[in-house]
């Protein structure tokens, strides 16, 4: 069986950041590009340099910092078919040009519904074809490779011949990659001859006949509006001419997103060599980095669903019980692939039958301390705290309960008194290892808040109040009050506490206790390297 590499075109930084809420800082753009390069992603589309000075700097910086030699990822940047944008895009890619790792990606709409936005220009097919040739020629003469996309390809309809002319003009001008996007995510194999993969085959045959000496890469860029992005992308490879798939990690992107790259990569690894295939399809991606990239996107762009395929939190998590022994002996007994391959660990939901070792593993994985002699007590505290959760709790819930266990101050009753010369507070509960009623006073200028603060600093000497505030969170005389206290330690690290109560004084006291608990736990029970 012959083999064929499928190149991965990662547009997380471009198309991914075009969806609401997914934008990242300059620094995170650079960090993401380095992660993708480490995973051996073939092409990283970084952005739209002509959109703003920041976009330009991001593209230029990625090209400079990520491209180190002729085997580095290709850095791509998108631009409209305008001479000034082409010039700007080429300049942004200059650090990658000397290594032959720069790609300019441009496009023209071919879907009649998209072309209507071009006004009279959209009706002048001959001029559009001339512009495609002339502007792409300018780009190729600047020593960048060019990718051309007939935007809305899957809805070209009666424009097949026009699209043929555009592709012909682009290739004649030097473009070597033709991307055929399902821009609105509406393609389906049930469309028969109108299916975009069939049109790709037709165009590929025409181009091969007219340009027999040119090696053209055909690419698919599929959106997920009907949940078909993965199927359509794979069909373009298995049943079409595509040797490049474009998408985003975690499937982010405009509207319902793009095809998920981690799903695409693992699909090809799992099924790329099936006997019914014409050939063995594979990628050169280092799959052990997939989880790290997916996690980065989830933290810094859009939060990933727990049940997300391949990399989701639940994708390798099992309830303790019948599955446990089988999975421990053989990870594939209840998994379609070994999660360790992508940098993910198999885990088990903490539940009524879990023990100290299970709790200890999760706690330490999150960076907290769980000593051997206390693991059983901690596990029992967590189970008692969630006694109504027969099916188990998530790792984040376990850590929240662990923090509850570690709190040095746990008060269930407050009383205070104020006078001109004396402020006193009586609290009942746990206070740094003792459980009883405590009585604190402050006879100088100050408040009951000061009295409690003076008691706490005996156990956390370097704790200082940064600032605190209180405000009503509802309307009316019976509104709940929310207080916020910010404290600092000797290293100027800030810890924030929140407290709520109908009584403004008690809400302030609760916020101080919350902040002190955070500081104490962070400094006492977090593992240090």
pLDDT at 445 over 80: no
pLDDT band (50, 70, 90) for residue 319: confident
pLDDT at 323 over 80: no
Average pLDDT of the segment spanning 133-143: 97
DSSP bridge pairs for 471: 482
Q: pLDDT digits over 514-524, tens only?
A: 999 999 999 99
pLDDT at 245 over 60: yes
pLDDT score at 151:
97
Q: pLDDT digits over 104-134, tens only?
A: 999 999 999 999 999 999 999 999 999 999 9
The alpha helices in 315-355, defined as continuous H runs, are: 322-329
d(CA 151, CA 107): 6
In terms of pLDDT, which residue wins out, 318 or 237? 237
Q: pLDDT digits over 466-514, tens only?
A: 988 999 888 887 889 999 999 999 988 999 999 999 999 999 999 999 9
CA torsion 54-55-56-62 (nearest 10°) is: 100
d(CA 32, CA 11): 11
Q: pLDDT digits over 356-399, tens only?
A: 988 998 999 899 999 999 999 999 999 999 999 888 888 889 99
Q: pLDDT digits over 37-63, tens only?
A: 999 999 999 999 999 999 999 999 999
Cβ atoms of 114 and 50 closer than 8 Å:
no
Q: For the chain, give the mean pLDDT.
A: 93
pLDDT score at 325:
66
Cβ atoms of 354 and 320 closer than 8 Å:
yes
- Residues with Cβ < 8 Å from 424, sequence gap 6 or more? 416, 417, 439, 440, 441, 442, 448, 451
pLDDT score at 351:
86
pLDDT at 355 over 90: no
pLDDT score at 79:
97
- Residues with Cβ < 8 Å from 458, sequence gap 6 or more? none
pLDDT band (50, 70, 90) for residue 1: confident
Instruction: Please name which of 363, 318, 325 lies closest in space to residue 344, comparing C-alpha atoms.
Output: 318
pLDDT score at 484:
95
């Amino acid at each position: 069986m012959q083999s064929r590499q499928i190149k991965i075109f990662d547009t997380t930084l471009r198309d991914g950041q075009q969806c609401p809420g997914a934008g990242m800082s300059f620094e995170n753009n650079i960090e993401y590009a380095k992660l993708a390069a480490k995973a051996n992603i073939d092409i990283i589309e970084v952005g739209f340099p002509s959109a703003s000075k920041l976009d330009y700097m991001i593209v230029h910086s990625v090209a400079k910092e990520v491209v180190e030699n002729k085997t580095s990822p290709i850095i791509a940047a998108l631009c409209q078919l305008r001479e000034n944008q082409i010039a700007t895009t080429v300049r942004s890619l200059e650090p990658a040009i000397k290594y032959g790792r720069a790609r300019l990606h441009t496009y023209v709409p071919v879907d009649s519904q998209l072309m209507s936005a071009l006004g009279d220009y959209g009706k002048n097919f001959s001029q559009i074809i001339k512009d495609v040739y002339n502007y792409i020629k300018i780009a190729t003469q600047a020593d960048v490779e060019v990718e051309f996309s007939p935007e809305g390809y899957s809805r070209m309809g009666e424009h097949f011949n026009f699209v043929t002319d555009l592709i012909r003009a682009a290739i004649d001008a030097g473009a070597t990659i033709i991307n055929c996007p399902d821009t609105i995510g509406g393609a389906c194999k049930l469309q028969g001859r109108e299916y975009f993969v069939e049109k790709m085959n037709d165009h590929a045959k025409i181009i091969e006949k007219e340009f027999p000496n040119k090696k053209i890469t055909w690419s698919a860029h599929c959106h997920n509006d009907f949940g078909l992005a993965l199927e359509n992308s794979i069909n373009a490879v298995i049943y079409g001419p595509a040797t490049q798939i474009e998408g985003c990690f975690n499937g982010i992107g405009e509207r319902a997103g793009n095809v998920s790259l981690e799903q695409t990569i693992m699909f090809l690894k799992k099924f790329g060599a099936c006997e019914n295939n014409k050939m063995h399809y594979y990628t050169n991606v280092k799959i052990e980095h997939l989880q790290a990239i997916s996690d980065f996107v989830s933290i810094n762009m859009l939060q990933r669903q727990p049940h997300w395929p391949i990399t989701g939190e639940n994708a390798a998590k099992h309830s303790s019980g019948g599955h446990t022994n089988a999975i421990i002996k053989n990870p594939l007994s209840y998994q379609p692939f070994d999660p360790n391959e992508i940098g993910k660990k198999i885990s088990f939901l903490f539940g009524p039958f879990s023990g100290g070792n299970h709790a200890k593993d999760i706690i330490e994985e999150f960076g907290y301390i769980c000593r051997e002699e206390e693991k059983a007590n901690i596990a029992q505290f967590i189970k008692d705290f969630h006694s109504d959760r027969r099916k188990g709790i998530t790792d984040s819930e376990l850590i929240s309960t662990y923090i509850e266990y570690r709190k040095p101050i746990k008060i269930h009753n407050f009383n205070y008194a104020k006078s001109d010369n004396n402020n006193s507070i009586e609290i009942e509960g746990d206070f740094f290892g003792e459980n009883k009623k405590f009585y604190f006073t402050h006879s100088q200028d100050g408040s009951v808040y000061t009295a409690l603060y003076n008691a706490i600093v005996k156990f956390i000497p370097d704790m200082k109040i940064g600032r605190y505030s209180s405000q009503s969170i509802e309307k009316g005389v019976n509104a709940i009050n929310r207080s916020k206290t910010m404290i600092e330690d000797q290293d100027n690290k800030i810890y924030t506490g929140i407290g709520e109560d109908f009584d403004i004084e008690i809400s302030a006291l609760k916020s101080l206790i919350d902040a002190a608990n955070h500081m104490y736990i962070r400094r006492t029970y977090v593992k240090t390297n």
